[in-house]
């Protein structure tokens, strides 16, 4: 499976956090719609950068947790990330 890459000139650790989060979610089988998951991670990592976060593992873990929570809440409702 190929996926979208991400990098942010303001914080290089964000690209690494994205790769860590995406890899974890893919291995866990948590990615149903690849593009939706990529967009979700990028949006949330961008917010973290704007908040001043620079620790790649912290950002990756937070993005993973938010993605898992989102999927859990929206899977029950039968909707997708893009809705």
Structural domain contains residue 61:
yes
Task: Judge whether 32 and 71 are in contact, CB under 8 Å.
Answer: yes
- DSSP code, position 82: T
User: What confidence score (pLDDT) does residue 61 get?
Assistant: 97
Structural domain contains residue 53:
yes
Structural domain contains residue 7:
no
Task: Judge whether 16 and 57 are in contact, CB under 8 Å.
Answer: no
User: What confidence score (pLDDT) does residue 20 get?
Assistant: 96
The Cα 61–Cα 12 span in angstroms is 16
Structural domain contains residue 38:
yes
Low-confidence ranges of the chain (pLDDT < 70): 1-3, 75-83
Total domains present in the chain: 1
Structural domain contains residue 51:
yes
User: What confidence score (pLDDT) does residue 78 get?
Assistant: 53
Structural domain contains residue 73:
yes
Domain span holding position 56: 27-77
Structural domain contains residue 83:
no
Structural domain contains residue 21:
no
């Amino acid at each position: 499976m190929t996926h979208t890459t991400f990098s942010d000139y303001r914080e290089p650790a964000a690209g690494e956090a994205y790769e860590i989060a995406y890899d974890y979610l893919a291995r866990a089988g948590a990615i149903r719609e690849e593009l939706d998951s990529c967009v979700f991670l990028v949006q949330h990592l961008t917010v973290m950068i704007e908040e001043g976060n620079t620790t790649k593992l912290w950002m990756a873990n937070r993005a993973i947790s938010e993605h898992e929570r989102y999927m859990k809440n929206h899977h029950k409702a039968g909707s997708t990330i893009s809705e």
